[in-house]
Amino acid sequence: MCLAFEQIEKMAEERGRVIGEKQGEVRGERRGEKRGKVRGENQFAALTEKLLTSSRTEDLLRATKDREYRKKLYKEYGLL
């Protein structure tokens, strides 16, 4: 009878561990997404400032719509 309780306890501990890991993964993903969003916003703000300072408003407008062109500009300005 004692063995059955030990097995139940081990199963409960394992279930708790799995649930805890999942909760940690979700929190970590949220934290990573938030950091990525902030980083992307800062990166685009820096690009915007550089393009406006250089009077490249047409390039800025294109960068808002064309991901590949935006990446090219990030590289050009050393923002990647």
**Helix or strand or coil: residue 54?**
coil
**Number of domains comprising the chain:** 1
3 in any annotated domain: no
What pLDDT is attached to residue 1?
A: 58
7 in any annotated domain: no
4 in any annotated domain: no
The residue ranges of the chain whose pLDDT is under 70 are 1
Query: CA 17 to CA 29: how far, in whole Å?
Result: 18
Nearest to 49 by CA among 63, 32, 36, 67: 63
Backbone angles phi, psi at 12, to 5 degrees: -65, -40
1 in any annotated domain: no
Say which residue the tokens 């940690």 belong to.
Answer: 24
What pLDDT is attached to residue 18?
A: 82
Enclosing domain of residue 16: 12-76
Query: CA 80 to CA 38: how far, in whole Å?
Result: 14
6 in any annotated domain: no
What pLDDT is attached to residue 44?
A: 98
30 in any annotated domain: yes
What pLDDT is attached to residue 16?
A: 86
49 in any annotated domain: yes
